[in-house]
């Protein structure tokens, strides 16, 4: 059964220095509150996995949490570059980071394979792409039945996955609605999982085929109201496109970024 | 009487016209998304638009800033998980055309969205592959749209993120279960198509007012022109009105929270 913890305690217990962490949410339901808690607790040497690093990993990379990032599209959607990711990759600030890049199809399949308990994902991909020449985790295998050459990547099996969702019931069962991305797969693929939610309710109000993650498949549930902002929570609040645009100027400069981090992350945080 | 329009509008309208009613289109963000929705709002009301966020058959009222804006989900027939999107719908062969943008494109329509310079010491780090590598090979065909410039149109891309026809034009030969690849490239100057034999991009149509020299100056290789070079039809009033309304709605939506 999922344990109800404060966000502080959930991160303190399950995110260890050096851990492999997946914080998912495909543009929607990005667990920003949890990301900020990881920054505040000064977690270090993390391997961060995420299809679209988005500005959540830009912030965590700039804060020095990451030693490696595994991703498939590293931009500020519709705006431009992730300047903190680029500064780390190109100039090594605040530390050098390693990157391992895939395509979306590869990562989606790798999360699914992780959830399915398989060591690898097999798919028809990377044909003619030069990504396999810079990522030694991309291999090709021959189909034993047809002889077709198919791509293979190792499954994603994080130490801990963190997602944000609309709500949990009092038993800790979680409802995820809208663009569900690879969140269920991320939770099921991980050794431990933290789900932050907007609220705890008596009844999830889930339809029969809704995306519900059972309490017993989750390690911890933590309430984090508006926990996805500036991303959004379908049915609760919209995406702050304005902040995504403002982030470009904030993140472009190390000093502006550091000041933003001080004012908006380090000096905030839940009461314990 | 000729209408007034910009080269960007010419590009969007021409790109939109490439989509036929009834096609199933896997849409990239940015210019492809603008063109695809313009098509849906004009001549192709039944075009099926799919975004990699899992939103299937979506009809957004404003253009999404990100690939996963709430508007895409709210106006979709249904929204599926991302693994299902890539495995069943794209890899399963349900997509007739992929509509992509890019940072760099070469003469064989290979796309680079990874980086400029050397991989170990990049001059400019770009976002990466995203959905494109598999969209380009698993969709029935591929349309590409981007602004024409010497920086973007290079002889050989620095990195092949996404296959056009390979470094030698033969990248799709004898590969089973692969789509036709890029069938047209739409820019703000012209329309290009791959040569049926060599697969090198050839200009087949110039936009009104654009000269061969304009295209030559904006292309990083010795670009060839089709023997029967056509003039791209101008946008009509309805297309321009709908495009401008769409962009105005989008701007208003993105300016707010």
Per-residue tokens: A11: 């991160």
- What is the rounded average pLDDT of the residues A246-271? 93
Per DSSP, the three-state class of A156 is: coil
A242·B127 Cβ contact <8 A: no
Taking only the tens place, the pLDDT of each residue in A109-150 is: 999 999 999 999 999 999 999 999 999 999 999 999 999 999
* Residues of chain B found within 8 Å of residue A111, distances taken between Cβ atoms: 83
Q: What is the mean pLDDT of chain A?
A: 97
Instruction: Please tell me the total number of residues recorded for chain A in this structure.
Output: 272
Asked if residue B215 belongs to a domain, the reply is no
Confidence (pTM): 0.97
Task: Single out the residue of A75, A118, A154 nearest to residue B132, CA to CA.
Answer: A75
- The 10 Å Cβ neighbour count of residue B194 is 23
With residue B56 as reference, give the H or E element that holds it.
Answer: strand B55-58
Average pLDDT over residues A224-245: 96
Facing A148 at nearest CB: one of B83, B138, B176: B176
Residue B209 located in a structural domain: no
Please check whether residue B140 touches A, CB under 8 A: no
Cα angle value A192/A175/A26 (rounded, 5°):
70
Residues 65-84 in B contacting A (C-alpha not used; CB under 8 Å):
65-70, 72-73, 79, 81-83
Range of the domain at B171: 7-188+234-255
Is residue B227 in a domain? no
Is B193 inside a domain boundary?
no
Helices (H), chain B: 7-18, 31-41, 70-74, 82-84, 132-138, 212-217, 237-255
Q: What is the CATH number of the domain that holds B54?
A: 3.40.1080.10
Helix (H) or strand (E) holding B27: strand B24-27
Q: How many domains does chain B have?
A: 1
pLDDT in the model for residue A272: 46
pLDDT digits (tens, 9 = 90+) for A102-120: 999 999 999 999 999 999 9
The pLDDT confidence band at residue A270, using thresholds 50, 70 and 90, is: low
User: Average of pLDDT values for A51-64?
Assistant: 98
Check CB contact under 8 Å for B82 and A51.
yes
Sorted by sequence, the CB contacts under 8 Å of residue B159 that are 6+ apart come out as A130, B112, B114, B115, B119
- Choose among B98, B173, B25: nearest CA to A127: B173
Residue B205 lies in a domain: no
Residue ranges covered by each domain of chain A: 3-102+156-257
Q: Which of B91, B127, B255 sits opposite A124 (nearest CB)?
A: B91
Cα–Cα distance for residue pair A56/A41, rounded to 1 Å = 15
Task: Count Cβ atoms below 10 Å from residue B220 Cβ, excluding itself.
Answer: 17
Cα distance from B112 to chain A (closest Cα, Å)?
A: 10
B62 in A contact zone (CB under 8 Å): no
Any domain includes B218:
no
How far, in whole angstroms, is CA B49 from its chain's centroid? 13
Evaluate whether residue B228 is within a structural domain: no
**Interface test mutation site (partner B, options A77, A89, A148, A179, max chain B beta carbons within 10 A):** A179
Q: What's phi and psi for B14, nearest 5 deg?
A: -65, -40
Question: What are the average pLDDT values for consecutive 10-residue runs of chain B, which has 257 residues?
Answer: 88 98 95 97 98 96 88 95 98 98 98 94 91 98 98 98 98 97 98 98 98 98 98 98 97 79
Exposed / middle / buried, residue B68 (Cβ in 10 Å: 0-12, 13-18, 19+): buried
User: Cα separation of A193 and A180, whole Å?
Assistant: 16
Is residue B52 annotated as a catalytic residue, yes or no?
yes
Contact A126 B85 (CB under 8 A): no
Q: Which of B66, B87, B138 is opposite residue A78, by nearest beta carbon? A: B66
Residue B193: CB partners within 8 Å, gap ≥ 6?
B183, B184, B185, B201, B202, B204, B226
Q: What is the pLDDT of residue A268?
A: 87
d(CA A111, CA A157): 8
CA dihedral A89, A261, B127, B218 (to 10 degrees): -100
> How many other C-beta atoms lie within 10 A of the C-beta of residue B168?
10
Return the CATH superfamily for domain A3-102+156-257. Answer: Glutaconate Coenzyme A-transferase (3.40.1080.10)
């Amino acid at each position: 059964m999922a344990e109800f913890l404060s966000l502080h305690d959930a991160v303190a217990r399950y995110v260890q220095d050096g851990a492999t962490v997946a914080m998912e949410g495909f543009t929607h339901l990005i667990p920003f509150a949890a990301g900020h808690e990881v920054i505040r607790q000064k977690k270090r040497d993390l391997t961060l996995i995420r299809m679209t690093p988005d500005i959540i990993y830009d912030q965590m990379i700039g804060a020095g949490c990451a030693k490696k990032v595994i991703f498939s599209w590293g931009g500020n959607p519709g705006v431009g570059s992730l300047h903190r990711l680029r500064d780390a990759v190109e100039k090594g600030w605040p530390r050098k980071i390693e990157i391992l890049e895939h395509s979306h199809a590869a990562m989606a399949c790798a999360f699914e394979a992780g959830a399915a308990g398989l060591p690898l994902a097999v798919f028809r991909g990377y044909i003619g792409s030069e990504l396999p020449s810079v990522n030694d985790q991309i291999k090709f295998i021959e189909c034993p039945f047809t002889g077709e050459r198919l791509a293979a990547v190792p499954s994603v099996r994080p130490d801990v996955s963190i997602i944000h969702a609309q709500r949990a019931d009092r038993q800790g069962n979680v409802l995820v609605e809208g663009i569900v991305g690879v969140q269920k797969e991320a939770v099921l693929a991980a050794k431990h999982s933290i789900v932050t939610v907007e609220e705890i309710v008596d009844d999830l109000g889930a339809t029969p085929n809704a995306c519900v993650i059972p309490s017993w498949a989750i390690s911890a549930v933590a309430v984090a109201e508006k926990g996805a902002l500036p991303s959004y929570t379908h049915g609760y609040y919209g995406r702050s496109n304005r902040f995504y645009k403002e982030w470009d100027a904030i993140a472009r400069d190390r000093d502006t970024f550091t000041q933003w981090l001080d004012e908006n992350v380090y000096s905030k945080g839940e009461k314990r | 009487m000729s209408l007034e329009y910009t080269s960007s509008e010419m590009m969007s309208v021409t790109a939109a016209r490439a989509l036929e009613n009834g096609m199933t289109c896997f849409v990239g963000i940015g210019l492809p998304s603008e063109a695809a929705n313009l098509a849906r709002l004009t001549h192709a009301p039944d075009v099926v638009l799919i975004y990699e966020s899992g939103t299937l058959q979506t009809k957004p009222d404003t253009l999404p800033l990100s690939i996963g804006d709430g508007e895409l989900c709210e106006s979709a027939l249904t929204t599926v998980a991302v693994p299902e999107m890539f495995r069943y719908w794209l890899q399963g062969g349900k997509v007739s055309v992929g509509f992509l943008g890019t940072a760099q494109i070469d003469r064989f329509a290979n796309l680079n969205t990874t980086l400029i310079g050397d991989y170990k010491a990049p001059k400019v780090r770009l976002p990466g592959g995203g959905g494109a590598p598999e969209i380009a090979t698993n969709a029935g065909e591929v349309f590409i749209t981007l602004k024409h410039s010497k920086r973007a149109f290079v002889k050989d891309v620095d990195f092949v993120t996404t296959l056009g026809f390979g470094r030698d034009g033969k990248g799709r030969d004898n590969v089973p279960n692969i789509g036709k690849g890029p069938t047209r490239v739409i820019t703000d100057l012209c329309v290009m198509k791959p040569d049926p034999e060599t697969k090198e991009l050839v200009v087949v149509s110039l936009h009104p007012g654009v000269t061969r020299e304009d295209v030559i100056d904006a292309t990083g290789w010795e670009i060839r022109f089709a023997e029967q070079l056509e003039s791209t039809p101008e946008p009509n009033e309805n297309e321009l009105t709908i495009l401008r309304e769409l962009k105005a709605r989008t701007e208003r939506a993105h300016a707010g929270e």
